Amino acid sequence: MLQSLGYVRATIDDGDGVWWEPSSAEREERIAFRLDRQAKTLESDTTLRFVITEEALTGAVGSPEVMREQRRHILNLLESKRNLTVQVLRTETYRNPARGAGLTVLLFGEKGAPVGFSTVVFGPSTYFDQEPDTAALLRGFRRVQELALSPKDSVRLIKEVDHA
């Protein structure tokens, strides 16, 4: 949801011909889908809270220019979206219950029960709508929030990494 265009392209390119047969049409469809989903999410007035790993800021995706674009994209989103909070989970953080996993919990307030999902590199994401599962995902998310830098310190780190 926070990926810049260059970062989206680079991650899709990394999987092209590995997780699916190489196809320019499918590549462009995957990019368009991801950007459309991102735009719809970020344009909403819903409260959005993200915890990203430090690897998302310092990893080797695409090129150094792509990574610089990614960091600046996150900073620009934080400046323009008042409903958005981003926290960074440092690499050296111990006791991370979600290490190596991506998780999402969607809370609908009075409009419906929570839904969660866990992403994987290959295959479909797993969706959860049963209370014990969504409660566990929410506990996991809250724990990584507690372990992560504060939103203010996260912005400071993103800027430091960008200027290093």
Structural domain includes residue 111: yes
What was the pLDDT predicted at 123? 66
Q: Is the pLDDT of residue 18 over 90?
A: no
Q: Give a yes or no: residue 3 inside a domain.
A: no
Q: Per the domain annotation, does 86 fall within a domain?
A: no
pLDDT at 80 over 90: yes
For residue 129, give both structure tokens.
């709508």
Q: By residue range, what is the domain housing residue 143?
A: 98-147
Checking if the pLDDT of 113 tops 70, the result is: yes
Any domain includes 16: no
- Computed over every residue of the chain, the mean pLDDT equals 91
Establish how many alpha carbons lie within 13 A of residue 41's alpha carbon, considering only the half-sphere containing its beta carbon: 16
In a domain, 63, yes or no: no
Residue 19 has what pLDDT? 81
Least confident range from 20-34, 48-62, 71-85, 148-162: namely 20-34
The first and second tokens of residue 42, run together, are 């970020």
1 within 8 A of 50, measured Cβ to Cβ: yes
The reply to whether the predicted model has a pTM over 0.85 is: yes
Higher per-residue confidence, 67 vs 126: 67
In a domain, residue 64? The reply is no
In a domain, 57, yes or no: no
* Domain count along the chain: 1
162 within a domain of the structure (yes/no):
no
Residue 126 phi, psi (nearest 5): -100, 125
